[in-house]
Amino acid sequence: MVTKREFIQALPTAGAAFTIAGSLVLDESPARAQTAPPLQGHFHPQGKAPSGHTIAILRKAKETLPFSDTRDLDENRRGLIARMPDMKIMADAGNVAWDMERFQFLDQQDEFDSIHPSLHRISRLNNNYGLYEVIPGIYQVRGFDLSQISFVRGRTGWIVFDVAVTGEVARAAWKLFQQHRGEGLPVTAVIYSHNHGDHWGGIRGIVDEADVRAGKVPILAPRDFLRHTVEENVYAGNVMNRRLFYQYGLLLPAAPHGYVGQGLGQAVSAGASGLIAPTRIVEQDYEEIEVDGVPMVFQNTPNTEAPSEMNTWIPGMKALWMAENVNATLHNIYTLRGAPVRDPLRWSKYINEALYRYGVQADVMFASHHWPRWGNARVQEVLRGQRDIYANMNNQVLHFANQGVTINEIHNVYTVPKSLQDKWYCRGYHGSPEHNSRGVVQRFLGFWDCNPTSLIPLSPAESAPLYVEMMGGAAPIMARGRQLHNEGKYKHASEIVNKLVLAEPQNEAAKDLLADIFEQLGYQQENPGLRNSFLAAAYELRTGIPQGDAASSSGPDVIRAMTTELFLNFLGIRMDARRAEGLQFTMNLVTPDNGEKFIVELANATLTNIQGFQADTADLTLTINRSDLEQVMAGAKTLEAQIADGTARVQGDVGILQKLAATMVDFDPRFEIMPGTRARTTSVAHADAYQAVPRKTIAE
């Protein structure tokens, strides 16, 4: 069952730099009435069985997969020292931070008729849950979060590579490690491999900030780490968190007909995420640093899997850490939650550099997800395969684009070469060839397919009524949609039924039919992000989106990491320009404790700022310590209160601040994606009911 607390605490998902917290009161009303005429087979408001068409597609897919290659199974099991005895890890707030019990159904059958066999395979592999030896002196705790924690023996203690998403699971991992291999030695250094939240969020479960500030525990990170930690997701943080409902299936129960894993790992933990700023930034492209007596060479790889990322070569152990640049999957070039499109050719070249600098002599390769690769031949094989998948995608998508294939066609034209499809570690468990190929086109050419019809199109809700009218109204669309559904032509069915739902968002029968269509498309997907997106849309069409009080942004560690400039930039995004028409002012902002000065200007319904300058004729000068401004940034204290108690000082027209505040908008993460879903309410109890319903195959 998805509890209210678990639902909320699941929101700060991997890669989200701006933590969403708060309290959503979910409507626990009974399941909605069945309004659409039933299709063939078993029906339940919370889900239907796979159709015969879907089952046939999955069986055909199984025949094409390289199941004869079982090396991943052996590597996945290798080095097990101790299983984690507790299937649940509790959060400090009292909820369950991590629950591996809900994924045990994956091991109870060899196959499911509602899960792509390749997706089932990686999800079973991700059920590894315990402490593993990589080589003597390097250990990993796997299966405690979306990412894993690695421990490297230093001269006086343990060097930790990445720290998972939340503190509670990181603390549990450290405890398990200490019980079996830790020798009672402390953490002596932490390395953040990159700026995504599943690699730094658990830091407070591993080290005490006082030890970091005292210089006892250095924290290393790649260049521009803090800027990208905040910038990549804050500016569009609200919409990214909403889109995570789809990519990560946050409302879906873990079940054969629901959520079955995330490819990189099983899920994201629901504990407390924090951030302690790094104390040393690796600035050079290649930089050799001795960390607790261990010589390491860091390779900065910007604009690959993350805008700030680095690999690490440990020559004394012949061990190569590939961060998240090389995993047991094709990664995202375009990520469904939204983010700047990544550079696959640069990604490929950085892997190639790592191969020829370090891979040719490495005995083992390990990373922040999945399991290690042992033996130089295997290390080189995987590096070459991963190098080639990103280069091929970049080069061949552009090959087709240069012949006129558009962003709306490329996913049906580009295919991964058979030799790469036959490598399990190039399968699309996080990125898919379909959405990644469109991402390559987007990166180079943008959204426009060069057809003027799509240059300044009507919004979908505006164009849909015309389509519905020309198709003869709702009745023939519903009839034809059901026919296409029963024929297994789900994409065709979605084309016309989606138009009806857009035109008539209160048409319950149409929404139910579209949910049925999306569900079958979801079952057919190898990629969990695609599966989750289809199933999440079906869920919301049937039950609605969460209702209640809006969530608020309150990640204190991340807010402290925000530069003042980033905060002022974000105010410009929060400002509704329509409310600012006719307003104009110039304000000096001074933060004495860190010596910063800014000019903030509102003109032409646009808020801008520039650092290092002060206006001679400012309408207002605001002086406040940066440490006190953080209270305002976090929403803990108003600027008005700080002015009243003397914490902040003003000179000039203080009314400017009220006018500026009046233009600000608090973003609501519950905005509608599927039409008409606000008319329905989400019942938390649905998840239990969903898992309890027996299912039968829909006959062709």
Position 238 scores a pLDDT of: 85
Query: Tokens 């509790």 appear where?
Result: 90
Query: Tokens 């908008």 appear where?
Result: 665
- Is residue 115 within 8 A of residue 528, CB to CB? The reply is no
Read off the tokens for 50: 């796979």
- Is residue 514 within 8 A of residue 499, CB to CB? The reply is no
Instruction: Please compute the mean of the pLDDT values over residues 112-129 and round it to a whole number.
Output: 97
Reported as a pLDDT band with limits 50, 70 and 90, residue 546 is low
The sign of the dihedral angle between the CA atoms of 643, 645, 651, 655 is: positive
Helix (H, G, I), strand (E, B) or coil at 483: helix
Question: What is the identity of the amino acid at 409?
Answer: E
Question: pLDDT by residue (tens digit) across 559-614?
Answer: 777 889 989 998 999 999 999 999 999 999 999 999 999 999 999 999 999 999 99
DSSP state letter for 333: S
Position 312 scores a pLDDT of: 98
Question: pLDDT by residue (tens digit) across 234-287?
Answer: 788 888 888 988 999 988 999 999 999 999 999 999 999 999 999 999 999 999
State yes or no: pLDDT of 698 exceeds 70.
Answer: no
Instruction: Please compute the mean of the pLDDT values over residues 17-33 and round it to a whole number.
Output: 25
Report the distance separating Cα 495 and Cα 19, nearest Å. Answer: 36
Q: Could you give the C-alpha distances from 605 to 84, 576, 621, 664, in angstroms and in order?
A: 56, 8, 20, 12
Read off the tokens for 274: 């924090």
Reported as a pLDDT band with limits 50, 70 and 90, residue 555 is low
Instruction: Please compute the mean of the pLDDT values over residues 129-145 and round it to a whole number.
Output: 98
State yes or no: pLDDT of 547 exceeds 80.
Answer: no
CA atoms within 13 A on the CB side of 320: 28
Reported as a pLDDT band with limits 50, 70 and 90, residue 373 is very high
Share of the chain above pLDDT 70, in %: 89
Question: pLDDT by residue (tens digit) across 87-108?
Answer: 999 999 999 999 999 999 999 9
Report the distance separating Cα 14 and Cα 18, nearest Å. Answer: 11
Question: pLDDT by residue (tens digit) across 417-427?
Answer: 999 999 999 99
State yes or no: pLDDT of 642 exceeds 80.
Answer: yes
Position 519 scores a pLDDT of: 97
Position 33 scores a pLDDT of: 26
Report the distance separating Cα 144 and Cα 99, nearest Å. Answer: 9
> How does the average pLDDT of the chain come out, rounded?
88
Rg (Cα) of the chain, in Å, rounded? 26
Share of the chain above pLDDT 90, in %: 80
The set of residues, in sequence order, having a beta carbon less than 8 Å from that of 609 and lying 6+ positions away, is 565, 568, 569, 572, 589, 598, 599, 600, 601
Domains contained in the chain, CATH given? 31-53+458-546+672-692 (1.25.40.880), 65-389 (3.60.15.30), 554-662 (3.30.1050.10)
- Is residue 397 within 8 A of residue 437, CB to CB? The reply is yes
Report the distance separating Cα 354 and Cα 135, nearest Å. Answer: 20
Reported as a pLDDT band with limits 50, 70 and 90, residue 368 is very high
Question: pLDDT by residue (tens digit) across 209-237?
Answer: 999 999 999 999 999 999 998 887 678 88
DSSP state letter for 254: B
The set of residues, in sequence order, having a beta carbon less than 8 Å from that of 168 and lying 6+ positions away, is 89, 90, 91, 92, 97, 98, 202, 205, 269, 271, 272
Read off the tokens for 377: 């031949």
Question: pLDDT by residue (tens digit) across 405-441?
Answer: 999 999 999 999 999 999 999 999 999 999 999 999 9
Position 670 scores a pLDDT of: 81
Position 671 scores a pLDDT of: 84
Question: From the centroid of its chain, how far is CA 381?
Answer: 28
DSSP state letter for 259: B
Reported as a pLDDT band with limits 50, 70 and 90, residue 25 is very low
Burial string for 540-551 (b: 16+ CB within 10 Å, else e) reads bbbbbbbeeeeb
Instruction: Please compute the mean of the pLDDT values over residues 512-521 and round it to a whole number.
Output: 97
Q: How many helices (H) and strands (E) does the chain have?
A: 23, 23
62 burial (CB, 10 Å; 0-12 / 13-18 / 19+) is middle
State yes or no: pLDDT of 40 exceeds 80.
Answer: no
Position 697 scores a pLDDT of: 30
Helix (H, G, I), strand (E, B) or coil at 146: coil
DSSP-assigned states of every residue in 216-254: SS-EEEETTHHHHHHHHHHTTHHHHHHHHHHHT-TTS-B
Q: For residue 306, which of 342, 275, 350 has the smallest C-alpha distance? A: 342
- Is residue 534 within 8 A of residue 525, CB to CB? The reply is yes
CA atoms within 13 A on the CB side of 55: 12
- Of 6-10, 91-95, 185-189, 264-268, which range is least confident? 6-10
513-517, Cβ contacts within 8 angstroms, sequence gap of 24 or more = 513/36, 513/478, 513/481, 513/482, 513/485, 514/538, 514/541, 514/674, 515/539, 515/541, 515/542, 516/39, 516/48, 516/485, 517/481, 517/485, 517/490, 517/493
Q: Strand 596-603 to strand 280-282: parallel, antiparallel, or no bridges (unpaired)?
A: unpaired
Instruction: Please compute the mean of the pLDDT values over residues 503-522 and round it to a whole number.
Output: 96
- Is residue 531 within 8 A of residue 119, CB to CB? The reply is yes
Report the distance separating Cα 318 and Cα 96, nearest Å. Answer: 39
The pTM of this model reads 0.87
Q: Could you give the C-alpha distances from 234 to 9, 271, 424, in angstroms and in order?
A: 18, 20, 34
Report the distance separating Cα 477 and Cα 484, nearest Å. Answer: 10
Burial string for 31-48 (b: 16+ CB within 10 Å, else e) reads ebeeebeebebebbbbbb
Report the distance separating Cα 421 and Cα 500, nearest Å. Answer: 37
Report the distance separating Cα 367 and Cα 379, nearest Å. Answer: 12
Report the distance separating Cα 691 and Cα 420, nearest Å. Answer: 36
DSSP state letter for 317: G
- Is residue 130 within 8 A of residue 141, CB to CB? The reply is yes
Read off the tokens for 5: 């607390």
DSSP-assigned states of every residue in 355-381: IIIIITT-SEEE-SSS--EESHHHHHH
For 275: left if phi > 0, alpha if psi spans -120 to 50, otherwise beta; the answer is: beta
Question: pLDDT by residue (tens digit) across 655-681?
Answer: 999 999 999 998 888 888 898 887 665
Q: For residue 230, which of 562, 479, 697, 584 has the smallest C-alpha distance? A: 562
Reported as a pLDDT band with limits 50, 70 and 90, residue 471 is very high
Report the distance separating Cα 510 and Cα 482, nearest Å. Answer: 10
Number of Cβ within a 10 Å radius of residue 459: 8
Reported in sequence order, the residue ranges of 325-444 that DSSP labels E, i.e. its strands, are 364-366, 373-374
- Of 136-140, 181-185, 223-227, 684-688, which range is least confident? 684-688
Read off the tokens for 440: 């390559």
Report the distance separating Cα 473 and Cα 491, nearest Å. Answer: 20
Helix (H, G, I), strand (E, B) or coil at 119: helix
> Which residues are registered as beta bridge partners of 587?
600, 620
Q: Strand 219-222 to strand 280-282: parallel, antiparallel, or no bridges (unpaired)?
A: parallel
Report the distance separating Cα 158 and Cα 144, nearest Å. Answer: 19
Q: What are phi and psi of 495, to 5 degrees?
A: -60, -45
Instruction: Please compute the mean of the pLDDT values over residues 488-516 and round it to a whole number.
Output: 97
